[in-house]
Chain A
Amino acid sequence: MTESSDRRRHTRCSFCNKGQEQVRKLIAGPGVYICDQCIELCQEVLEEENKGPAARRPRTNVVPSPQAIWSSLNQYVVGQDQAKKVLSVAVYNHYKRINSSREASDVELQKSNVLLVGPTGCGKTLLAQTLARILDVPFSIADATSLTEAGYVGEDVENILLRLIQAADFDIARAERGIIYIDEIDKITRKSDNPSITRDVSGEGVQQALLKILEGTVANVPPQGGRKHPHQDFIQINTGNILFICGGAFEGLERLIEQRVGHRTIGFSSEPGGKRTKESTQILQQMQAQDLLRYGLIPEFVGRLPIVVALQSLDEDDITRILTEPKNAFVKQYQKFFALDDVELVFEEAALRAIAGQALALGTGARGLKSILESVLLTSMFEVPSHPEIKRCVITEKSILESTEPELYPEEEPQAASA
């Protein structure tokens, strides 16, 4: 028997173990073989997958109009009208650009990443999350504070892409059209204007590392996260069509803008270290690229974020509306909790104002609401399930301001309640 015929006899499909004489064709790989029948079966398996839920998911080819995006944002986010308008247009244009890139054209549309500037708790992250929900695209939130330059202890910038890939269920093509929200971007500003012998590995270095990713490149992402090493396989992902939304509080930016425009509050009301109010953050509308540069962002980084949106601090009216108006408003959420125990939860109008006032005093924006409500309702949530006779729980202004217990009523009684 010749060597060739012996090899032929031992050549079998690595999948079904059939010999070459049993199949029509056998394709060879490095030490592995696959027969025509198994190829056909593989195709079937893959086709079935394509008919699965991932394929049935509506693609983003049909992007809602800016007005539709705006009204959807209105359902979840209170106030920030200008920011919502800018974001609606930016996102609509971004996806229009992706869809148009398939058509050959002389005019190439460039991508426009977004920078959200606004005080803590004003709705930056919520805006980005709501956008992702409306558009049904993979969305991930990355934290800029943990990022460091490649080679230093901390997370590499490519790891923010891995989170998006995970959000897209490892569908790279889908991930390449997703949205990444990089939070706390103001924490990677240059630490000092003076050149130093030590590298700014978590500040300017991170900005430099983010440049190519923001602009659009084929990035190599380590599949297990962590840091790269030479003997590792990488997932390749093109960031050209990924929309980056960066958000940060930029504490103190108002003062830089004031210095530039020559508008400076003097006297005792200036409150240099005071809380940011709706009025004090109004000046953010006049923000320009040079203010961000003075704050510590490098010019290359600012240039890659052409759309800058300023958000305002929330006032008492806004916070009261946040309590009741959005689709998943806190008051609605707690009312549902109590309704599950067959109890009606009622907030008096004055109580809502008092809660808003306390949240404002905390200086954490809408974030403080949840903790205030939890502490107010804790005893009621403890008592109500053990007392089936209780049918109504009324939160009054007194129960907020004086920390007294909410009023519990056994039967429904006519009350002058509002919410």
Chain B
Amino acid sequence: MGDLKDLKRRSGGAAQDRGGVMRLVRRMGMHCDFCGRLALAVAVEARPDGRQVSICSRCVGEAARTVHSHGGGDAA
């Protein structure tokens, strides 16, 4: 947890080098990479290795519920 939290608090190139900055964005026409819906007001975005990943608030909520539930949720 610590790594990303630290990254969040930093800004600029150093943070980018270490994997990505997680921040909230408000931008038109952005999609959630998990559900594919138009992620409008609340989307969290990070750029590990220069790649941009977005997740909308709805998917964050669902993922959190999955994580806290017993069993399931593993990808592999």
Complex Cα–Cα for A48 and B31 (A):
21
Find out whether the CB atom of A223 lies under 8 angstroms from the CB atom of B40.
yes
Q: Please indicate the chain A residues that have their CB under 8 angstroms from the CB of B66 in the complex.
A: 25, 27
Size class of the B contact interface (CB-based, 8 Å): 35 or more
| A56 contacts partner chain B, Cβ-Cβ < 8 Å | no
Find out whether the CB atom of A16 lies under 8 angstroms from the CB atom of B60.
no
Q: Please indicate the chain B residues that have their CB under 8 angstroms from the CB of A46 in the complex.
A: 24, 42, 44, 57, 60
Fill in one digit per residue for A144-177: 1 if any B CB lies within 8 Å of its CB, else 0.
0000000000000000000000000111100000
Find out whether the CB atom of A169 lies under 8 angstroms from the CB atom of B41.
yes
| A417 contacts partner chain B, Cβ-Cβ < 8 Å | no
Q: How far is the CB of A207 from chain B (nearest CB, A)?
A: 29
Find out whether the CB atom of B48 lies under 8 angstroms from the CB atom of A15.
yes
Find out whether the CB atom of A14 lies under 8 angstroms from the CB atom of B36.
no
| Chain B, 1-33, CB within 8 A of any chain A CB | 1, 3-5, 8, 19-20, 22-24, 26, 28-29, 31, 33
| Chain B, 34-54, CB within 8 A of any chain A CB | 34-38, 40-42, 44, 46, 48-49, 51, 53
Q: How far is the CB of A374 from chain B (nearest CB, A)?
A: 38
Contact of B28 among A4, A11, A26, A224 (CB under 8 A): A224
Contact of B4 among A14, A24, A37, A169 (CB under 8 A): A37
Find out whether the CB atom of B63 lies under 8 angstroms from the CB atom of A170.
no
Complex Cα–Cα for A340 and B41 (A):
41
Find out whether the CB atom of B49 lies under 8 angstroms from the CB atom of A32.
no
A15 and B40 contact, Cβ closer than 8 Å, known pairs A32-B33, A39-B64? no
| Chain A, 32-69, CB within 8 A of any chain B CB | 32-34, 36-43, 45-46, 48-49
Q: How far is the CB of B2 from chain A (nearest CB, A)?
A: 9
Nearest B residue to A31, CB-CB: B33
Q: How far is the CB of A338 from chain B (nearest CB, A)?
A: 41
Q: Please indicate the chain A residues that have their CB under 8 angstroms from the CB of B29 in the complex.
A: 223-224, 233
Q: How far is the CB of B23 from chain A (nearest CB, A)?
A: 7
Complex Cα–Cα for A37 and B5 (A):
10
Contact of A16 among B19, B34, B37 (CB under 8 A): B19
Q: Please indicate the chain B residues that have their CB under 8 angstroms from the CB of A49 in the complex.
A: 24, 42
| A74 contacts partner chain B, Cβ-Cβ < 8 Å | no
Find out whether the CB atom of B22 lies under 8 angstroms from the CB atom of A15.
yes
| A327 contacts partner chain B, Cβ-Cβ < 8 Å | no
Find out whether the CB atom of A28 lies under 8 angstroms from the CB atom of B75.
yes
Contact of B22 among A11, A41, A170, A224 (CB under 8 A): A41
Nearest B residue to A40, CB-CB: B1
Find out whether the CB atom of A37 lies under 8 angstroms from the CB atom of B1.
yes
Nearest B residue to A225, CB-CB: B28
Q: How far is the CB of B37 from chain A (nearest CB, A)?
A: 8
Find out whether the CB atom of B67 lies under 8 angstroms from the CB atom of A27.
yes
Q: How far is the CB of A366 from chain B (nearest CB, A)?
A: 37
Query: How many residue pairs, one in A and one in B, have C-beta atoms under 8 Å apart?
Result: 120
Nearest A residue to B46, CB-CB: A15
Q: Please indicate the chain A residues that have their CB under 8 angstroms from the CB of B64 in the complex.
A: 39-40, 43
Contact of B23 among A11, A26, A45, A172 (CB under 8 A): A45
Q: Please indicate the chain A residues that have their CB under 8 angstroms from the CB of B55 in the complex.
A: 15, 29, 34, 42
Q: Please indicate the chain B residues that have their CB under 8 angstroms from the CB of A28 in the complex.
A: 75-76
Fill in one digit per residue for A372-411: 1 if any B CB lies within 8 Å of its CB, else 0.
0000000000000000000000000000000000000000
Nearest A residue to B72, CB-CB: A25
Nearest B residue to A41, CB-CB: B4
Q: How far is the CB of A201 from chain B (nearest CB, A)?
A: 28
Complex Cα–Cα for A4 and B76 (A):
8
Find out whether the CB atom of A14 lies under 8 angstroms from the CB atom of B53.
yes
Complex Cα–Cα for A39 and B3 (A):
14
Find out whether the CB atom of B51 lies under 8 angstroms from the CB atom of A14.
yes
Q: Please indicate the chain B residues that have their CB under 8 angstroms from the CB of A16 in the complex.
A: 3-4, 19-20, 46, 48
Q: Please indicate the chain A residues that have their CB under 8 angstroms from the CB of B22 in the complex.
A: 15, 38, 41-42, 45
Nearest A residue to B29, CB-CB: A223
A15 and B20 contact, Cβ closer than 8 Å, known pairs A40-B1, A170-B26? yes
Offer 5 A-B interface pairs, CB within 8 angstroms, sorted by A: A14-B53, A15-B22, A27-B73, A31-B33, A48-B24
Known: A37-B4, A40-B64. 20 other contacts (CB 8 A): A14-B48, A14-B51, A15-B4, A15-B20, A15-B55, A17-B19, A17-B49, A20-B74, A25-B66, A25-B73, A25-B74, A27-B73, A29-B34, A41-B1, A41-B8, A41-B22, A45-B23, A46-B44, A223-B38, A233-B31
